[in-house]
Amino acid sequence: MSLESYLNKSFYCCIDSLLPATQPEQHILCNKISEQNNGKIIFYGAEEVLVLKDQPYIYKKLKRTPNIDGVVFFTVDQFCYGEKFNLNLMKKILKLQMSIHFAREQVSFNSIEDLANKLPIIISYHHSFIRSRKMFAKETKYLLSQ
């Protein structure tokens, strides 16, 4: 079987605008997870830095782009930039019958049921992310006050 016939799914890739990782670095990992899920990335994008907390554009883009089987995000962090984890967006994407993949964490969701089963992973990741940000902010504030 040729690689072309094996890669039969099409993915949209959404890289993380806030990470210090370079775009080519993010694309390499995103391509890798798309291949692991029998597909290839056919579109790339990123949320505008000013609206990362809400991620308003990705859903609209996915909804109007035909023949997309799923979306590959670089990291779960992209859903943690707001006040709370953006579970709503994940549910909306899954309801479009699209899969969701996170390249850095190597986690995929193929349905609402899959999301419900793996929810503890996401919740613990989110709390760890928030705790790390708060600790960093406290340390920075302390160092600046010295």
- Tokens in use for 3? 């690689």
Strands of the 107-109 sheet, one edge to the other = 39-46, 9-15, 70-73, 99-102, 107-109
For residue 32, give the nearest of 123, 101, 91 by alpha carbon.
101
Q: What is the pLDDT of residues 83-138, one digit of tens each?
A: 788 899 999 999 999 999 999 889 999 999 999 898 888 777 777 766 665 665 56
CA atoms within 13 A on the CB side of 23: 6
- 12 forms beta bridges with 43, 71
Its pTM stands at 0.81
Question: In the chain, what are the domains?
Answer: 3-145 (3.40.50.1390)
